[in-house]
A and B are shown apart, each in its own frame.
Chain A
Amino acid sequence: MHSYGGRVLRVNLTGGTIHRAPIEASPIRAYLGGRGLNVRRLYDEVPPHTDGLAPENPLIFGAGPLVGTTFPGGARFNITAVSPQTGILGDSNAGGFFGPEMKFAGYDQIVIEGRAERPVYLAIRDDRVELRSAEDLWGQDVWQTTAAIQSELGDPDVQVAAIGEGAERGVRFAGVFVNLNRAAARTGMGTVMASKRLKAVAVRGTGSIAVADMARFAGIIARLDGRIARHPDYEVRAHLGTTRLVKALDGIGALPTRHFQGGPFNADAVSGETIEQRYKTRSQACFACTIPCSRFLVVDDPRFPGLRFEGPEYEPLAGFTARVGNTDLPLALACIDLTNRYGLDAIALSEVIAWAMECYERGLLSREETGGLDLSWGNGDTLLTLVHQVARREGFGDVLADGERRAAERLGRGSEAFALHSKGLEIFQADVRTIKAYALGNAVASRGADHLRAEPWFEFSNDPDEGVRRYGVPDTAFRLAHKGKGLVVKHFEEMAAISDATGVCKNTYNNMEVLDWAATAELLQAATGWDLTGEEVRRIGERIVNLERLFNARSGIGRKDDTLPARFIDEPLPDGNPSAGAVVELEPMLDEYYRARGWDIETGLPTPETLRRLDLRQ
């Protein structure tokens, strides 16, 4: 099958059995691969109410048809399972070099079931697949594990997806890390991996992928390269990557300062520009990408000797600065480095710490209850201590390690009201009162509060004519307006689904919009040889979004769960904020979104007609 590795690898850790099978053609055509094919398998193979930590919860790695090609940033893979953090769909995505290596080894999907008796890691070298002892690796961090496996296999080009100590100790928001710092962090996929006593998946592929029409594919990529290079965002993205957002979001009052309570914050002290000037030594990129948006840093600070790593992205940076009221940049970078080595989700970790700081500020937590920690905003010693404590489930960190929803339930005292999550997943680092499409996207996202299920950048365009052309609503082009945002989110959710199903980066595909539906279809035709139209590609995206909704509906998810924390709905942004007075008008946006989706407006679930239209019901 053109553009695919061609096989599914299935490993049962309980029995130690390993099977390879050809990839099935029909679900591939309906879901493409990656996130789409992963959720199809999860829906088909997992009984309702399966516990995230049960051996029968499969951990599914998937890489789509554009992974490993010359598509710029065609590097991404998804890891999917029931989430032990939220209890619903768990799904996380990372770039780097692991996804292409899976494809070159001949695998589009790796399905891992059961639980090993003793710690193991899975070593895949083309057709040679084996479970090897990880007893000596258990307790090692992500960096140590990666180096030890490359050394044991005698090949520095082996790509390693590893968990750290946080996952082993049962932190519910632990991720899976590739290339040391690239995280499939969200929804606790590392926690699932640890529950299987699987320390890592190592893969090396010496094969290659054939596309259906190489000359046509190359021609399309050459035009795409030009479009990316000429894009107005190119230069700033190539220099700063997502850290450009510190200044950009500060300008509209969207930084998550002191747990989204606002107040003065010196964004210049922690901006992407400041990092570039002080610490950046080189630009780095994911596999075959023409935008080197990642950066290697060497931090010269006597408090943190030897601190050097690739990154950070905006999310951990804002998390360990604005969100917790900290302007000590080297200290924030040290926290991020520790978070990566322990293998944790920096969004969830920074949120549980910020929530605890607000509890402390409000007198809901005493110093005795924190084990003597002073949780004042920006206390650097406390930040470092809490990263260690959460990862090891020690002291007060043990309360936070179950994620915010459980921590707030455990503490009570009204702290649930400002636990900033939706469906149990902690919200990202931008104040959604200032960006209404992102607000709606977070409320309806299939893995809980999350921006990457939509990335509806269009509301920053300030181009009302284009808003009319696209959605029939001029307001869609303005971030503070809510009218038409249901249509915008629907559109961008379908783009994000195609991005994750094909394996490309949302920076290019969603945020820079380098391909529309027709151009995507043209590229997939050249890659796969299928006769696809733009509308069919869009429908695949729509199908994925609907199947994820059906998967979550089995856990009782519906309109009542498509919520945002009260802070964003009831508390207007204060005077002095560039978006002063703004709140999220969630209910009218939800109505509009469900109507656009063909979902029941009361239940928020797909109607039978919608399911028939998408071939999800006979």
Chain B
Amino acid sequence: MQILVQDALCSGCRACEVACVAWHDGRFGTATARIRVRKIEHLGVVRPVVCHACAEAPCVAACPSSALSRDEATSAVLLSADDCIVCSACADACTLGGVLVHPSSSHPLICDLCHGEPACVARCVTGALRYGSPEADDQGRSAGA
């Protein structure tokens, strides 16, 4: 299971970012979100970017301090902040842009799927974000990046 993205449906409202920060931090903001809506405004390009929870995750493989692991229940990539040496090897290894960086601590920000009920998906009214498995995705699109 992962967050499935359909760029064409995204309104660019960034409610997913706010929902993510609210779930994790209990506050309203965007900078610590684990999902980011990338835009090229003058071309009308809007693209939510979030971790795909890849089956073979390059970020986990690249981590030199074993700070990243998999959640067995959801397959999300989880960070142990105590073990993280803030080297950004994970962000460099991810070719999808799914590893974001905390603005003050510089720790990686990776989607943890909110224990299996992603808050961003719940807040998305356009259907651009859904939670499911790419194989079963009859829309023929997987996570955008």
- A residues touching B (Cβ–Cβ < 8 Å)? 68-70, 97, 100, 104, 143, 146-147, 156, 179-180, 205-211, 214, 218, 225, 229, 281-290, 292, 294, 296, 298, 308-310
Contact = CB atoms under 8 A, between A and B. Distances in A.
A191 B136 CA distance: 55
Interface in B83-104: 103-104
A464 B44 CA distance: 44
A68 B28 contact: yes
B15 interface: yes
Interface stretch (B6-14, B53-61, B74-82): B6-14
A467 B43 CA distance: 46
A70 B46 CA distance: 20
B29 interface: yes
Contacts of B10: 282
B41 A180 contact: yes
A512 to B, nearest CB: 15
B44 A298 contact: yes
Contacts of B43: 308
Identify the interface centre among A97, A143, A208, A229: most chain B CB within 10 Å of its CB.
A208
Nearest to B25: A208
A288 to B, nearest CB: 4
Interface stretch (B16-24, B62-70, B110-118, B137-145): B16-24
A71 to B, nearest CB: 10
A559 to B, nearest CB: 43
Closest 8 pairs (CB-CB, A-B)? A208-B29, A296-B44, A292-B11, A206-B31, A206-B103, A285-B13, A285-B11, A208-B27
21 contacts: A70-B123, A205-B29, A205-B31, A206-B103, A208-B28, A209-B28, A210-B26, A282-B8, A282-B46, A284-B44, A285-B11, A286-B13, A288-B15, A289-B11, A289-B13, A290-B13, A290-B125, A296-B44, A308-B43, A308-B44, A310-B41
Contacts of B13: 284-290, 292
A70 B104 contact: no
A68 B8 CA distance: 25
B44 to A, nearest CB: 4
B125 to A, nearest CB: 5
A309 B41 CA distance: 9
Given A206-B103, A281-B44, A292-B13, A229 B28 contact: no
Contacts of B19: 70
Contacts of B46: 282, 284
B28 A284 contact: no
A547 B41 CA distance: 38
A491 B65 CA distance: 62
B15 A290 contact: yes
Given A208-B32, A214-B26, A288 B42 contact: no
B22 A214 contact: yes
Interface of B: 8, 10-15, 18-19, 21-22, 25-32, 38-39, 41-44, 46, 103-104, 123, 125-126
Contact of A70 (B28, B41, B103): B28
A218 B125 CA distance: 16
Contacts of A210: 26-28
A70 B13 CA distance: 11
A282 B42 contact: no
Given A207-B29, A207-B31, A70 B18 contact: yes
A285 B17 CA distance: 14
A70 B22 contact: yes
Given A68-B29, A288-B14, 17 more contacts: A68-B28, A70-B15, A100-B30, A206-B104, A207-B29, A208-B25, A208-B31, A208-B32, A214-B26, A281-B44, A282-B44, A289-B11, A290-B15, A292-B11, A292-B13, A292-B126, A309-B42
Contacts of A283: 11, 126
Nearest to A298: B44
Contacts of A225: 125
Contact of A104 (B31, B41, B125): B31
Given A211-B28, A289-B13, A218 B22 contact: yes
B29 to A, nearest CB: 3
A306 to B, nearest CB: 10
Contacts of B42: 143, 147, 180, 308-309
Contacts of B12: 284-285
B22 A104 contact: no
Contacts of A298: 44
Contacts of B32: 206, 208
Nearest to B17: A288
Contacts of A292: 11, 13, 125-126
A284 B11 contact: yes
Contacts of B15: 70, 288-290
A143 B125 CA distance: 29
Nearest to A68: B28
A164 to B, nearest CB: 14
Contacts of A207: 29, 31
A109 B13 CA distance: 23
B39 A104 contact: no
A68 B30 CA distance: 9
Contacts of A208: 21, 25, 27-29, 31-32
Nearest to A205: B31
A206 to B, nearest CB: 4
Nearest to A3: B28
A209 B8 contact: no
B126 A287 contact: no
A481 B135 CA distance: 61
A161 to B, nearest CB: 14
Contacts of A205: 29, 31
B109 to A, nearest CB: 12
B10 to A, nearest CB: 8
Identify the interface centre among B19, B28, B46, B125: most chain A CB within 10 Å of its CB.
B28
A127 to B, nearest CB: 12
Contacts of A179: 41
B29 A104 contact: yes
